[in-house]
Structure 1
């Protein structure tokens, strides 16, 4: 069962009732290549012990592509998408077999759940995923979630398992998200240059001026620290605290000890489509808006009307994600647009009443409704 109340700092991990743990390929890979049995068993020992105390756990695990390299005779992670997909197809079954055996030794059942970020954007898929995961957790199962790498495209190239983990944490209403990699924490500069660990991030301002690396030292992952920070920030902004640390610190992390970098919550739960808009959406165009519209959108939380738009850039259709910028080019917000880039130019600077009279009632509405808009 989920805990009804939690402390505000990392000690909440001691009693958290539902936790999402993400592990990257670099943490599971051996020096010789492929999945390291020792690394996988060490992680499973920690997670199974916690599961057997009653905590509900979801493991978001990368590693399918890495596991498929050796059986295909590949010496390194392939660059082309088709071979990545082939390696994922071969490796996913091997990865799940190892997890099944390792957790089984502790009397814990596991299941395979393959998702993409896109699956969590579609309302029916979202509901189905929630129902399935919730039922598995109630049955005492540890769901092992991975991207559906065999058919995914964008996710494979940009290491979205970190962000997928944040979305899964949001989906199942987790108490916390733990992101494990081969780096023990976020630092204020290169660790080898004597940088200091950033123990706590209370909000975006704490990361101003911090240089964040993009790749792990093992060379088989794709996200690096940058996607972990993005995922932790995404979770924190939606009311779920997150910890970023090394896989070797998994036991200490779940015990609430002072390891890694803790991202405390700085927002409340919001619809998953707004999380997607803020962090994952592929932006199709830009609307430059005047000062009045900036104030209405940012400060008064109003919809964007055609009268406040001064220019349109890009090619997009109704329902596509676009960004809104002020006259200096600073991004103000993102949203789902109600008109195409073909329709909008003739609407600029005109009131909805005027547009309704001259173009028809279908034009007498917002360009972006406030419910489909996120301020950045």
Structure 2
């Protein structure tokens, strides 16, 4: 099987993000949860998890789940009414996920985000670390837009882009967009029955973008092919492949693995490589962390930078800033994004991570600089 197919892409993926559209979760006629469908998806995710694949869900549906209880027969135009629907629907949605995924022995952890949370550096780091902590403990993160407080975020197409940003943040290998269409056609198949289907898109060119057509009409779920191509650009930039498929029938992931029609946007590199290349390209460290010979050896073996090997901290930097590592001979041996401010790094100098609570008064991160956030020169 060619690596440029959806089944092969899923099989080799270490971490999957699955985006679930409102139209799949909620029956557009009754406004009720499609519980049988969600139960089948839970079985798909349980099977992936059992074979060692890490899964993150990005779910729409809060507003759609809140329409019927509030007496709306369609998505309201007024922002405050949409936010009210989200407030009611979010509770129902979370209950449904935990109930149905719990029957498969899975624990759900909910994270509410807006796009602005992923553009603010401290919030971004907090979200990323929370996702990592949940996955380390075998929990399935379910990430939703925080529609109860969002303003501009409640608009056409943001859920697709949010899913791509989450995939990028989480260093996912593959993003699956479960949609109400099976993929990309050269033109609208509803208007041209002979429209050619594209099962693999190697590059998003202007010609490919022209195939997307106009935005979709507003329904219980919002979006269209244009937003999915924008999501693909975000995912690919992070080294994450993306797949679009029609997820309406039960067991969408199983069907995808068995070769059901979809459009694959294959990444040309992997997420960690992209991240390391970006860190390598950064040119202005905010500070310097001096380390001993033992720390240098550990870094060269692929370890994270731990405070026990730190001998001195120079500069003024905050969590998430770029810092350079200086070896005992005075030469820079690497650089990375610190998990601690200069003040806290200096306090932790010479200590183990287990001392963080005693030294800082709160539980610390797992390393001064995580191995995924550093490069060696």
Query: TM-score with structure 2 length normalisation?
Result: 0.66
Q: Distance in 2 between matches of 1:141 and 1:267?
A: 27
Range with bigger deviation, 113-122 or 262-271: 262-271
Pair 252,49 (structure 1): closer, same or farther in 2 beyond 3 Å: closer
| Greater mean deviation of Cα atoms: 155-164 or 61-70 | 155-164
Distance in 2 between residues matched to 1:199 and 1:154, nearest whole Å: 33
Question: Contact 2:168 / 2:234 at 8 angstroms: preserved in 1?
Answer: no
In 1, Cα distance between the equivalents of 2:62 and 2:41? Answer: 16
Match of 2:220 in 1: 220
SS at match of 1:235: helix
Question: Is 1:17 equivalent to 2:14 in the alignment?
Answer: yes
Partner of 1:335: none
What are the within-5 Å matches in structure 2 for residues 229-268 of structure 1?
Answer: 229-247=229-247, 248=249, 250-252=252-254, 255=257, 257=259, 259-266=261-268
Q: How does 1:117-128 map to 2 (within 5 A)?
A: 117-128=115-126
CA distance in structure 1 between the partners assigned to 2:165 and 2:79 by the alignment:
24
Quote the residue 2:104 is aligned against: 106
Summarize the Cα distance change of 1:154–1:267 in structure 2 as closer, same or farther, 3 Å threshold: farther
When the two chains are superposed, the root-mean-square deviation of aligned CA atoms in Å is 2.2
Change (3 A) 1:71 1:159: same
Q: Any gaps of 5 or more consecutive residues in structure 2?
A: 279-377
Matched with 2:42 is: 44
**TM-score for both structures, normalised by structure 1:** 0.66
2:173 equivalent in structure 1: 175
Structure 1 residues 208 and 76: alpha-carbon distance in aligned structure 2, compared to 1, 3 A threshold: closer
| Equivalent-residue separation in structure 1 for 2:210 and 2:115 (angstroms) | 29
Q: Which runs of 5+ in 1 are unaligned?
A: 1-5, 275-376
- CA shift for structure 1 position 134: 0.4
Say whether 1:61 aligns with 2:59: yes
Quick one: structure 1 residues 41 and 212, their matched pair in 2 at CA, closer, same or farther if it must change by over 3 Å?
A: farther
Q: For residues 78 and 253 of structure 1, do their structure 2 counterparts lie closer, same or farther at Cα, with a shift above 3 Å needed?
A: same
Deviation per CA, 1:212-258: give whole Å up to 9, x if none: 34226x81112122212210222113211100111137224652725
C-alpha change, 1:85 and 1:177, in structure 2 (3 Å) is: same
| CA distance, structure 2, for counterparts of residue 170 and residue 238 of structure 1 | 5
Farther off after superposition, 199-208 or 57-66? 199-208
Aligned: 1:201 with 2:201: yes
Q: Distance in 1 between matches of 2:83 and 2:141?
A: 22
Paired residue for 1:29, among 20, 26, 29?
26
Aligned residue number for residue 82 of structure 1: 80
Task: Give the C-alpha shift of residue 26 in structure 1.
Answer: 1.0
Question: Could you give the per-residue CA deviations for residues 14-62 of structure 1, whole angstroms, max 9, x where no partner exists?
Answer: 1311100001101112131232222322222222222232211000000
**Is the 8 Å Cα contact of residues 185 and 198 (structure 1) preserved in structure 2?**
yes
Q: Give secondary structure in 1 for the equivalent of 2:215.
A: coil
Give the 3 Å change call, closer, same or farther, for CA 224–180 of structure 1 in structure 2.
Answer: same
After superposing the two structures, state which structure 1 stretch, 6-15 or 34-43, moved more: 6-15
User: Which aligned runs of 4 or more in structure 1 are off by greater than 3 angstroms?
Assistant: 6-9, 266-271
- Aligned-pair CA distance for 1:112: 0.6
Q: 1:253 to 1:131 in 2, by over 3 A?
A: farther
Aligned length: 266
Label 1:224 to 1:211 Cα distance change in 2 as closer, same or farther (>3 A). closer
Q: Is the 8 A contact 1:176 1:240 kept in 2?
A: yes
Task: Identify which range, 252-261 or 232-241, moves more after superposition.
Answer: 252-261
Asked if the contact 1:19–1:57 (Cα under 8 Å) also holds between the matched residues in 2, the reply is yes
Q: 1:253 to 1:228 in 2, by over 3 A?
A: farther
Distance, in Å, in 2 between the alignment partners of 1:49 and 1:82 is 40
Q: Is the 8 A contact 1:88 1:149 kept in 2?
A: yes
Tell me the distance in 1 between the aligned counterparts of 2:258 and 2:166: 21
Compared with structure 1, are the counterparts of its residues 48 and 267 closer, same or farther at alpha carbon in structure 2 (3 Å cutoff)? Answer: closer
SS of alignment partner, residue 107 of structure 1: coil
